[in-house]
Chain A
Amino acid sequence: MITRRTLMKTAAAGLTLPVLGRGAFAAEPLKIGFVYPGPVGDYGWSWAHNKGRLAMDEALKGQVVSSYVENVKEDASAIPIIKDLAQQGNKLIFTASFGFMDQTIEAAKQLPDTKFEHCAGYKKADNVGLYNERFYQGRSVVGTIAGHMSKTGVIGYLGSFKIPEVVMGVNAFTLSAQAVNPKITTKLVMIDSWFDPAKEASAAETLANLGCDFITTHTDSPAALQVCEKRKIYGFGQGADMSRFAPHAHLTAIEDNWGPYYISRAKAMLDGTWKPDDVWMGFKEGCVEMAPYNKAMPDDVKAAADKIIAGWKDGSYDVFTGEIKDQSGAVKVPKGEHMKDADIAVMDWYVQGVQS
């Protein structure tokens, strides 16, 4: 705790300089700003982004100086916050939540000389790029594990909101599990929040009560894992290695690794080659990683999981390959076809086997 505070004080001291003497220094390091929806200590989404920022700071020490604002509400008040970062000299600003989409566009309109990158959105502009990670690739790995190890044949998904991001996660989880055990069903609970530990715990308990022996979560806190540990079922971490919260239950986690991306974008700014892009990265780019496997996982399951990861990396595996049916039985993806990115990005239907 004290360490963090002194870190902040040093950072604050470093930040006051540009505020006081804007433009007085010639070869200043490049300033990059970050906007997070939650606290950097949430051990989930915002924490992972911040970890990426720190990696960028480390890799490009001396060339880049970063700052961040946390707990930014996803309403109109985000606009002045984003503009503040720009006015403090940040030349590139990352807004790390889909809820900042329209605010980023508006700020970008008012500040044409600043570059922006918005995570998990779809609106672009001349100075606004898009970036996101294919978390569903990670879901297919945990789904495979669940498919191999589930004894009840019922697995659980703790979701937040019914947005494409979550829907594709549910589907990837289910499809990959069904590839191992075709009779598997997924129980889904949306708690309408990204972060409400008590509700996540109750929802996880409910899933366990209804027969799930594997739970994966799309919410930000480790609460569900704690329930898994108590109920002696298995779970997967989200966004970060959460094994310390559930040493027996935590088999692996989908880790968001933003470092490589932030480093590459910072370098592009330094080189002058930055262009607004629309990237969706996964295992191949090193942006999605799996946490170390729990010792309890049998070797053949580990091998199966590794095979999926390798398949994503060399392009031989795609979880969204037909034939895929939705809950009503209609064929959404014909046999052998791969779903197009554009269709995955707007997914709003669940596959057969999902009880929602």
Chain B
Amino acid sequence: MRIRLEKRLTPSRFMQVATPVASVLLTMLLGAIIFQLIGFDGPRAIYETFVTPIVAPYKWQDVLTKAAPLIIIALGLSLGNQAKIWNIGAEGQYILGAIAGAGAAYAAPGAPSLVAIPTMIAAGIVGGMVWAAAPAFLKTRFHVSEVLSTLMLVYVALQVLNYMVDVPWKDPNGHNFPQTAPLTPAQSLPRVLPGTVIPPGFVVAIAATLIFWVLTARSVYGFSVRTVGAAPDAARYGGFDASRTVWSTLMISGGMAGLAGVIEVMSQLRLINLGFPSGYGFTAIIVSFLGRLHPVGVFLAGLILAVTYVGGQVAQTVVHVPEATAGIFQATMLFFILASDILVRYRVRVIRDAPRVQPAEAVA
């Protein structure tokens, strides 16, 4: 009796949806058991982390606020990931988007809302794209791995941030604290849409999900991206230029990260300080994979991850698990989904040794 893996003709749709769900549930189960074993109230910790943010209305705003940048960034990353182009530096592009957007605001302080807000958003997108342009150039021209170049640029982006809030943009009324002057009301977005708990970033996330859904599923571009990732030689024969794909996917993911960054600045704290880099750029990578690189999956995965963040904070105050637990849960979900990936592409067959067939008696 052996276990054999048979490649499926087409990836299993059922598995594609079932495995992320199973990953989350398994993480919850495993988490409850392990935390119970090491001395915490395991089931309570899981409940607070995964369930409370969903059932407690006063937490919905927090979940949506956290989910918005995750979804926006992950949508862009998923496109690149489908083409096997790994943008690890979304965090840096997020920071540069925020800086560019703030720059646009400071350049024209008196501009009215109608001009300021679109300009800032556009600047944010461009800022993220510029930061992704260098890795794109390095890859197409010098064959530099985008994994490393985008990552190194995150650290450079952090230093750019430190410099901007410390020297040119330090708030003159800010008691010499390293942070920028606050944005004026004309330059800000409301924290939530009036009358709801929905942050403006989340509206953008919904819109972006729909756009990316169309782009991925129904456009030639989406098809070309997938093909370049799945079968580079076939793509070449089909006329899909790999180099152009590198540029387009990195620009798109960089732009989306920049968009997330500028929206965060405009709607949350309305200024940039040293604590601004929240790590969304890295968490979005998990979101992208948890959502199986599909826009709708990414949307849901972003919400789930936001739930673990918010729930992790609740668990910290109620059950006193350390702050690191949210990260452990997120990584575990990612492990499960990566492990289950094989079930999508392969069918598990249990082969029993065939019973010996008796040769037919020769008829005399």
Give the B-binding residues of A (Cβ under 8 A): 2, 5-6, 8-9, 11-12, 15-16, 19, 39, 67, 69-81, 84-85, 87-88, 98-99, 101-103, 106, 121-122, 161-164, 167, 192, 345-348
Contact = CB atoms under 8 A, between A and B. Distances in A.
Of A6, A11, A74, which is in contact with the most chain B CB atoms at under 10 Å from its CB? Answer: A74
Interface stretch (B172-180, B242-250, B339-347, B354-362): B172-180
Given A74-B275, A102-B273, A11 B317 contact: no
Contacts of B162: 192
A75 B177 contact: no
A238 B66 CA distance: 35
Interface in B154-188: 162, 166, 175-179, 182
A348 B313 CA distance: 36
A287 B83 CA distance: 59
Contacts of B323: 39, 70-72
Given A15-B318, A164-B176, A74 B273 contact: yes
B318 A99 contact: no
B175 A345 contact: yes
Given A12-B320, A99-B273, A161-B274, A77 B178 contact: no
B316 interface: yes
Contacts of A122: 175, 177
Given A163-B177, A164-B175, A84 B317 contact: yes
Contacts of B320: 8-9, 11-12
15 contacts: A5-B40, A6-B39, A9-B39, A15-B317, A71-B322, A73-B278, A74-B273, A75-B276, A76-B264, A80-B313, A84-B317, A102-B271, A122-B175, A164-B176, A347-B176
B190 to A, nearest CB: 13
Contacts of A346: 175-176
Nearest to A85: B317
Interface of B: 39-41, 44, 58-59, 61-62, 65-66, 162, 166, 175-179, 182, 264, 268-271, 273-278, 309-310, 313-314, 316-320, 322-324
Contacts of B324: 71
B268 A76 contact: yes
A162 B166 contact: yes
Given A12-B318, A76-B268, A163-B178, 13 more contacts: A39-B322, A74-B275, A75-B278, A78-B275, A80-B59, A81-B317, A84-B317, A99-B273, A102-B179, A102-B270, A162-B178, A167-B176, A348-B176
Given A9-B39, A9-B40, A75-B276, A80 B62 contact: yes
10 closest A-B pairs by beta carbon, nearest first, are A74-B275, A76-B268, A71-B323, A8-B320, A80-B62, A75-B275, A348-B176, A75-B278, A12-B320, A122-B175
A103 B44 CA distance: 28
A65 B224 CA distance: 61
A346 B44 CA distance: 46
Contacts of B277: 75
A12 B175 contact: no
B176 A161 contact: no
A163 B176 contact: yes
Contacts of A39: 322-323
Contacts of B274: 74, 99, 161
A66 to B, nearest CB: 12
B262 to A, nearest CB: 14
Nearest to B273: A99
B288 to A, nearest CB: 21
A2 B40 CA distance: 11
B232 to A, nearest CB: 39
A88 B317 contact: yes
Contacts of A11: 320
Given A69-B317, A74-B275, A192-B162, A87 B178 contact: no
Nearest to B277: A75
B58 A87 contact: yes
Given A8-B320, A16-B318, A102-B273, A80 B310 contact: yes
A81 B319 CA distance: 15
B317 A77 contact: no
Contact of A5 (B39, B268, B278, B313): B39
Given A9-B39, A84-B314, A77 B319 contact: no
B361 to A, nearest CB: 76
Given A77-B66, A99-B274, A12 B319 contact: yes
B338 to A, nearest CB: 27
A72 B275 CA distance: 10
A192 B277 CA distance: 14
A118 B59 CA distance: 24
A52 B111 CA distance: 48
Of B175, B268, B273, B323, which is in contact with the most chain A CB atoms at under 10 Å from its CB? Answer: B175
A76 B313 contact: no
A77 B273 contact: no
Contacts of A85: 317
Contacts of B59: 80
A71 B66 CA distance: 18
Nearest to A342: B175
Nearest to B39: A5
A67 to B, nearest CB: 6
A39 B322 CA distance: 9
B170 to A, nearest CB: 9
A226 to B, nearest CB: 25
